[in-house]
Structure 1
Amino acid sequence: MFRRTNADPVIRQFILRTAVLNYLGKSLREQYNEYCLLRTQHENIRLKTASDQELEDLPTLSELFEMQQLKTAATHRLLMREYQELLAYMMDKSDLWDSQEYFKAKSALGAAIHNLRVCAPTKPMD
């Protein structure tokens, strides 16, 4: 249930952009963890002496691995774009630098840059 507020549109933008940044950061972490898991499974099957069943599973796992890699890279790119947009927006609104929403947005920027560094794609998308 949502409350109706008459908040300043700038404050609403801080709240909205912060929520988007937090959501994308969480999504990137989850996708990156899945990517790491698939990469490990792919490497383990490829390196060990594979049985016939494991050799049959390898193409499917390779496809999943490639799809997850592309998905993670796309989310990384989205998060980077939203990070840059929120940062630029915050710099334009210097009159709100002491507001609670500004500090929440600043915290979200810190978490986002951490996620961007930790979850950097191994193969950049062009």
Structure 2
Amino acid sequence: MLRRDNADPVIRQFILRTAVLNYLGKSLREQYNEYCLLGIHHEEISLKIGSDQDLAAEPTLSELFEMQRLKTTATHRLLMREYHELLAYMMDKSDLWDSPEYFKAKAALGAATHNLRVCAPTKPMD
């Protein structure tokens, strides 16, 4: 029988993996928002350049946009990996399915699913 206190390694794994999943989800949302803002700004600059604006800002903005896209895609991939690892870990620990940590991890999986769908990369990294 497993102990149900925070000193138990299984409970600590639930807590740690849940924290990692929550952190990556928050990071992905922030990066995706920045990516979207850069995309909007990139479009505005492109439209202005098409008319008569200075071309000096365009390469820098394009590079920033591409770097943010790559960063967001990499974080999406990490979140997907951690999601699958936590899900597999939870399935292996069926004796803890009634613990508070299990329900916190389950909520984190739900949030991660939402973030993975909403913040999906526009084109694959590979």
- TM-score > 0.5 by shorter chain: yes
The root-mean-square deviation of aligned C-alpha atoms, in Å, is: 1.1
TM-score (norm 2): 0.92
| Structure 2 unaligned blocks of 5 or more | none
Q: How does 1:4-43 map to 2 (within 5 A)?
A: 7-43=7-43
Amino acid at match of 1:51: Q
Q: How far apart, in 1, do the equivalents of 2:71 and 2:116 lie?
A: 14
Q: How does 1:92-111 map to 2 (within 5 A)?
A: 92-111=92-111
Q: How far apart, in 1, do the equivalents of 2:52 and 2:24 lie?
A: 37
Work out whether residues 6 and 12 of structure 2, in 8 Å CA contact, stay in contact via their aligned partners in 1: no
Task: State the Cα distance separating 1:50 from its structure 2 match.
Answer: 3.9
TM-score (norm 1): 0.92
Q: How does 1:47-86 map to 2 (within 5 A)?
A: 47-48=47-48, 49-52=51-54, 55-86=55-86
Amino acid at match of 1:26: K
Amino acid at match of 2:86: L
Q: How far apart, in 2, do the equivalents of 1:50 and 1:82 lie?
A: 47
Q: How far apart, in 1, do the equivalents of 2:8 and 2:42 lie?
A: 51
Task: State the Cα distance separating 1:65 from its structure 2 match.
Answer: 0.2
Total equivalences in the alignment: 120
Q: How far apart, in 2, do the equivalents of 1:21 and 1:50 lie?
A: 46
| Structure 1 unaligned blocks of 5 or more | none
Task: State the Cα distance separating 1:103 from its structure 2 match.
Answer: 0.1
Q: How far apart, in 1, do the equivalents of 2:99 and 2:33 lie?
A: 34
Q: How far apart, in 2, do the equivalents of 1:125 and 1:42 lie?
A: 20
Q: Displaced runs of 4+ in structure 1, greater than 2 A? A: none
Task: State the Cα distance separating 1:6 from its structure 2 match.
Answer: 5.7
Amino acid at match of 2:100: Q
